Amino acid sequence: MAFERTLILIKPDGVQRGLVGDIVGRFERTGMKIVGMKLMQMTEQLAAQHYKDHVGKGFYAGLVKFMTSSPLVALAVEGPKAVENCRKLMGKTFCTDAVAGTIRGDFGVSRGLNLVHGSDSAESAKRELGLFFKPEELIEYSRAIDAWSWNDEDKG
């Protein structure tokens, strides 16, 4: 299994609805380790960098307006197959399509407000983590629970 890091954003709707603790807890309970976390206001410049692949699409202006409307929480999450496992935990993009047991399936109430963003590949994760975190903001540390969450096979 590949041991990797990914970016998770708890979007403005997740922050405004008071779901930050519940969402962070979901990732931690799967054995994932939070190696970076910050509450921040996304600027239009950061939104343009982060969503550069969506520039020119019909939903882009509304997406930027939403993402810059209120604080969000940026997380750097580490673990075996972090990108894939975190995306499974988040659930399908549209909350109305997400199954129970996923973040979007359990907490989602709107098709357009989907609570979280997660990098879609290891390459995207590296780029996105660089947008939201300086290298010195990502902390290397061990947890007692790691021995009970991951073994050498998981670390690849």
Distance CA 86, CA 26 (A): 10
Q: List the one residue out of 54, 6, 53 whose CA is nearest residue 33.
A: 6
Q: Which of 117, 119, 125, 150 is catalytic?
A: 117
Q: Are 9 and 74 in contact (CB under 8 A)?
A: yes
User: Is 117 annotated as catalytic?
Assistant: yes
* Active site members: 117
